[in-house]
Amino acid sequence: MTIPSPLSHRAGMKWLLIILAGLLLVIVVFAVVFFFMANTHAGVKVIRMEGTLSTGDFSTADSVGSEYVGNQLREAADDPTVNAIVLRVDSPGGTPAAAEEIIGDMEYAKTKKPVVVSMGDMATSAAYYVSAHANKIYADPDTLTGAVGVIWIFTDMSGALNQEGYNITDVKSGAFKDMGTTSRALSPSEQVYAQQIVNESFNRFINDVMTQRMIARSDIDDGRVIRGEDALKLNLVDQLGNLNDAIAGAQQLAEQRK
């Protein structure tokens, strides 16, 4: 019987620890790769723009902020592990300013990698304004899109207030300072001014869409909602397909850029 040397025992433990460390490293690498694949769809980052759009850094069940979406677009654009971006849009629209802020970040992202839009149930008004700036747009046959236009709603509750016995007096510094108050209807001059603001915002909106998509103004200037299938015929979208189709399309665009 030979008594093993303490030195040989320690050497065996050293090699065992090295092997275990190597196995652990392999497991970690595979876990990171799996996480990356699951979250970026083989190099494609999916960003969701869902709910009513307004400016700010927030995301709730029914609204989303321009800074929240824009920051994600910029992060994906600067991420070397992301080859393309898919913006999943399911929104009725929102404010023109929110759309313009997101567009600025989308244009930045497009300088780095392809940005593809995948429309869900709805991508109308300001949500279409954003979508028009994508490299490619996918929609389902019954996606509701279009609704290219601007609306400003004023509510006159003076009748109800009078019935309740309320008497409201405004002390103001200028004729238009209380424009939009619910205690009275708009004056004729206020209606003219409100229409001017709406018209200017609309012209910026529709001219931008026409430049991005090469669409005839007469096809969209009535502000109607358009089905995805009809939107394809009018060149509002590029292809019918779901989110997976958009991801595959984004991957193809990324390959073409290499």
How many Cα atoms are found within 13 Å in the side-chain-facing hemisphere of 67?
A: 4
- Is 125 marked active-site? yes
Q: CA–CA distance from 71 to each of 67, 111, 258 (Å)?
A: 6, 15, 25
Exactly one of 177, 187, 189, 233 is catalytic; name it. 177
Q: Find the catalytic residue in 66, 91, 118, 125.
A: 125
| Residue 87: strand pairing partners | 47, 117
**Does residue 177 have an active-site annotation?**
yes
**What is the Cα–Cα distance from 23 to 118, expressed in whole angstroms?**
40
Host H or E run for residue 115: strand 115-124
Q: What whole-number distance in Å separates Cα of residue 46 and Cα of residue 38?
A: 11
Query: Is the alpha carbon torsion for 108, 109, 113, 114 positive or negative?
Result: negative
**Residue 127: both structure tokens together:** 């949500």
Residue 45: helix, strand or coil by DSSP?
strand
Report how far apart, in Å, the C-alpha atoms of 167 and of each of 17, 54, 159, 179, 190 are: 85, 34, 11, 17, 22
- Residues annotated as part of the active site: 125, 177
